[in-house]
């Protein structure tokens, strides 16, 4: 479908994608809404355009490409590794700006050389942007959730806290609120004397049986939602933690880690120094981090462009490691964003785990970033 | 300029609203017979009364086809995006009290706060192969409260148009967001309100559509003043 509102540089982008050895795919504009809401959460609902089929199925206008490309990969049972590229319109409800705009990008599925694939995604994004915006100083910010996961694990925090912290990673307000909350004890109140006695007895089986009976008696199914066992386990965990508070030293370490923002080239040494000073065993995560930095060097990426920000992440549960964003120095408009989403393929129904990394380019913002004379020349 | 005021068309809300207007010196009389959907105010020829359902009032005030309305704050905030920019809450009328709340099964002994619920939601998919399901007719309020205020993203809303409080027991949802005035229906369905789970303390309000032509209009000012005077 030839579209006359395509950015003038679209043909160059497609040539780049082909030169990079990717397979160009297209996906229908009208998509089932379920997978998007399921992956990104209900909040997405007010930001996408939804409609219903005649039979009542929820449909939406494609709000992004990653999920459709991954679903297509699963449906067509294509082997891996496979690198896909796409270029097309996406649709989102925005208070300001257009509701339909072009996005292009690459999804790299099934490459087991994680460091190499991460570096290639960043390098490809930089190469493509640099070709469109010659002479502009690009700035790349990187984050890595797996390093944060390693830090909270090495701090020896209770499993429940680790989960909460990892879940909030990438949302600084939420992390702050959470750190404040767990810094003081959280008493478990409002339990009946009977439950208190059962908890105190340590007799799990009787506690679970009691919950089971109560549910039966009050007309609640014991397997449709949370089970008696699950409720009892979490109640016990809360009770065990109620007198525990995050100690000042650990809080200090977490805050110190999250405030790290340094040139990527210096990040491995800084992280090793942080681990050594704090006595945290981060070896696995740090060597993977180091391998990525080395792979970026091998890919010929200018280290001067790269900054590591320890608190940078995306609060979506399928992002697992690297995230990155590219802007023009001094501007806040994100021209490219990407990351590793090793959990997405299985969540979408793939039978085996397929590692995945990719990025998307915001073509409208790239067009706006072109100097007026470049835009003239391109016409 | 004629000012249109929409009042609830039936039930206690209608009687309570009429009583306040009468106390404010604006006695409402039906045009035609008792069951007419139009009325007027004695002594105020430039005011028209429209009797509408409470949810219609919220919609009509949002698109500015009426000037004032008496309806529940919950319906305004649920029905309109950026409600405060589009309507002015002129007076809280002291009737039609109801709270919009997050309620979970009583048997969830480990869940007392939104933070607890956030934990449960984060884990839900891994344990049950689906997202935590919330039955509600308050889509907007639920999304704002869960997503914006508490950073909880991992849940799905199951639309419920009636008997929402029965959804957890019937298995069509895990928890609910619903309106309650006494809490007795929740209790009867073995549900409890989270300690920080009150989304909105709603009551009937006099609301005004923010329209440019209201600026400096004596009648508009007089209506707001009279209703507030009747409440004092």
Lowest-confidence range among A62-76, A299-313, A359-373? A359-373
* A149 vs A379: CA distance, rounded Å: 48
Q: Which residue has the higher pLDDT, A252 or A42?
A: A252
Roughly what angle, to the nearest 10 degrees, separates helices A159-168 and B114-128? 90
Say if the Cβ atoms of B140 and A195 lie within 8 Å: no
What letter would DSSP give residue A281? -
The domain spans of chain A are 1-136+351-379, 138-184+247-328, 193-241
Dihedral (Cα; B209, B212, B218, B224), 10-degree rounding: 20
Cα distance from B203 to chain A (closest Cα, Å)? 26
Reading the block at residue A139, the tokens are 């700035």
Say if the Cβ atoms of A224 and B153 lie within 8 Å: no
DSSP calls for A300-337: T--GGGEEEETT-----TT--SEEEEEEETT----SEE
* A318 vs A363: CA distance, rounded Å: 25
pLDDT in the model for residue A43: 78
Roughly what angle, to the nearest 10 degrees, separates helices A114-132 and A283-298? 40
* A139 vs B173: CA distance, rounded Å: 46
Which residues in chain B touch residue A42, judged by CB atoms under 8 angstroms apart? 142-143, 146-147, 153, 155-157
Positions at the binding site of A for L-histidine: 64-66, 92, 103, 107, 314, 318-319
Number of neighbours of residue B10 by Cβ within 10 angstroms: 11
Q: Is the minimum CB–CB distance between B149 and chain A shorter than 8 Å? A: no
Say if the Cβ atoms of A218 and B106 lie within 8 Å: yes
Say if the Cβ atoms of B168 and A220 lie within 8 Å: yes
Which residues in chain A touch residue B115, judged by CB atoms under 8 angstroms apart? 164, 178, 181
Say if the Cβ atoms of B122 and A181 lie within 8 Å: no
Place of tokens 């949302």: A171
> What architecture does CATH give domain A1-136+351-379?
2-Layer Sandwich (3.30)
CA nearest neighbour of B179 among B113, B106, B111, B103: B103
pLDDT at A78 exceeding the cut of 90: no
Reading the block at residue A166, the tokens are 């990892």
Cα distance from B173 to chain A (closest Cα, Å)? 8
Q: Which residue has the higher pLDDT, B165 or B1?
A: B165
Dihedral sign from CA coordinates of B128, B129, B132, B138: negative
Roughly what angle, to the nearest 10 degrees, separates helices A159-168 and A172-182? 160
Q: Is the minimum CB–CB distance between B188 and chain A shorter than 8 Å? A: no
- Tell me the pLDDT tens digit for each residue of A287-329: 999 999 999 999 999 999 999 999 999 877 788 899 999 999 9
Q: Which residue has the higher pLDDT, A173 or A4?
A: A173
Direct distance between the N- and C-terminal alpha carbons of chain A, in angstroms, rounded to an integer: 20
Direct distance between the N- and C-terminal alpha carbons of chain B, in angstroms, rounded to an integer: 28
- Identical fold between A1-136+351-379 and A138-184+247-328: yes
Q: What is the mean pLDDT of residues A16-30?
A: 95
Reading the block at residue B222, the tokens are 């007089």
Number of neighbours of residue B218 by Cβ within 10 angstroms: 7
Strand partners, A52: A58
pLDDT in the model for residue B29: 87
Q: What percent of chain A has pLDDT over 90?
A: 71
- Tell me the pLDDT tens digit for each residue of B130-139: 899 999 999 9
Reading the block at residue A168, the tokens are 């909030």
- CATH class of segment(s) A138-184+247-328: alpha beta
pLDDT in the model for residue B167: 92
Place of tokens 């989270």: B194
* A360 vs A325: CA distance, rounded Å: 10
pLDDT in the model for residue A1: 46
* B53 vs B58: CA distance, rounded Å: 9
Q: What percent of chain B has pLDDT over 70?
A: 99
Helices (H), chain A: 10-19, 34-40, 66-75, 114-132, 145-154, 159-168, 172-182, 193-201, 204-217, 228-241, 248-258, 267-278, 283-298, 344-347, 363-369, 372-378
Domains, chain B, with CATH or none: 3-97+203-231 (3.40.190.10), 98-202 (3.40.190.10)
Q: Which of A41, A211, A237 is closest, CB to CB, to B107?
A: A211
- Tell me the pLDDT tens digit for each residue of A140-194: 999 999 999 999 999 988 888 898 899 889 988 889 988 998 888 888 888 889 9
pLDDT at A90 exceeding the cut of 90: yes
CA nearest neighbour of A322 among A340, A309, A299: A340
- Tell me the pLDDT tens digit for each residue of B7-61: 998 888 999 999 999 999 999 888 877 667 888 888 888 999 999 998 899 999 9
DSSP calls for A136-202: --EEEEEEEHHHHHHHHHHTT--HHHHHHHHHHTT-HHHHHHHHHHHTS--------HHHHHHHHHT
């Amino acid at each position: 479908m030839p579209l006359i509102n395509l950015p003038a540089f679209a043909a160059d982008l497609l040539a780049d994608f082909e030169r990079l050895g990717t397979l160009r795919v297209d996906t229908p504009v009208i998509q089932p809404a379920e997978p998007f809401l399921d992956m990104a959460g209900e909040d997405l609902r007010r930001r996408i355009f939804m409609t219903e089929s005649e039979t009542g199925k929820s449909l939406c206008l494609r709000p992004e490409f990653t999920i459709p490309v991954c679903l297509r990969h699963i449906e067509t049972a294509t082997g891996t590794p496979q690198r896909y590229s796409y270029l097309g319109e996406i649709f989102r409800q925005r208070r300001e700006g257009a509701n339909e705009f072009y996005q292009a990008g690459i999804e790299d599925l099934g490459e087991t050389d994680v460091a190499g694939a991460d570096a290639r995604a960043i390098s490809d994004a930089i190469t493509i942007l640099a070709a469109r915006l010659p002479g502009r100083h690009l700035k790349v910010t990187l984050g890595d959730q797996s390093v944060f996961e390693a830090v909270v694990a090495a701090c020896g925090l209770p499993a429940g806290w680790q989960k909460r912290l990892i879940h909030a990673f990438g949302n600084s307000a939420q992390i702050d609120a959470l750190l404040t909350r767990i810094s003081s004890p959280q008493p478990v109140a409002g339990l009946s004397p009977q439950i208190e006695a059962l908890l105190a007895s340590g007799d799990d089986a009787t506690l679970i049986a009691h919950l089971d009976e109560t549910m039966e008696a009050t007309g609640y199914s014991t397997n449709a939602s949370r089970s008696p066992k699950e409720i009892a386990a979490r109640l016990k965990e809360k009770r065990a933690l109620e007198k525990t508070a995050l100690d000042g030293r650990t809080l200090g370490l977490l805050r110190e880690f999250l405030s790290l923002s340094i040139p990527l080239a210096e990040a491995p040494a800084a992280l090793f120094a942080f681990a050594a000073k704090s006595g945290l065993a981060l070896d696995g995560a740090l060597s993977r981090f180091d391998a990525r930095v080395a792979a970026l060097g091998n890919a010929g990426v200018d280290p001067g462009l790269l900054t590591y920000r320890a608190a940078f992440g995306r609060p979506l549960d399928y992002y697992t490691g690297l995230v990155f964003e590219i802007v023009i120095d001094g501007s806040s408009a994100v021209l490219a964003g990407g990351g590793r989403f090793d959990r997405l393929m299985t969540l979408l129904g793939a039978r085996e785990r397929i590692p995945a990394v990719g990025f998307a380019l915001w073509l409208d913002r790239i067009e706006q970033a072109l100097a007026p004379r470049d835009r003239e020349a391109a016409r | 300029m004629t000012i249109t005021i929409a009042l609830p068309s039936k039930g206690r809300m209608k009687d309570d609203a009429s009583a306040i207007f009468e106390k404010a010196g604006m006695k409402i009389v039906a045009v035609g017979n008792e069951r007419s959907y139009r009325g007027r105010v004695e002594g105020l020829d430039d005011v028209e009364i429209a009797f509408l359902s409470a949810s219609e009032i919220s919609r009509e005030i949002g698109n500015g086809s009426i000037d004032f309305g008496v309806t529940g704050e919950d319906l305004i905030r649920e029905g309109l995006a950026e409600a405060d920019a589009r309507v002015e809450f002129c007076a809280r009328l002291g009737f039609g009290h109801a709270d919009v709340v997050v309620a979970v099964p009583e048997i969830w002994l480990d869940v007392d706060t939104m933070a607890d619920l956030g934990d449960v939601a984060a884990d839900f998919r891994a344990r049950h192969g689906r997202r935590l399901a919330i039955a509600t007719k308050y889509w907007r309020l639920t999304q704002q409260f869960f997503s914006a205020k508490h950073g909880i993203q991992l849940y799905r809303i199951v639309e419920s148009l009636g008997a929402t409080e029965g959804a957890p027991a019937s298995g069509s949802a895990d928890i609910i967001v619903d309106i309650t005035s006494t809490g007795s229906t929740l209790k009867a369905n073995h549900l409890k309100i989270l300690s920080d789970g009150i989304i909105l303390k709603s009551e009937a309000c006099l609301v005004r559509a923010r329209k440019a032509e209201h600026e400096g209009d004596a009648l508009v000012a007089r209506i707001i003043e009279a209703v507030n005077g009747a409440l004092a």
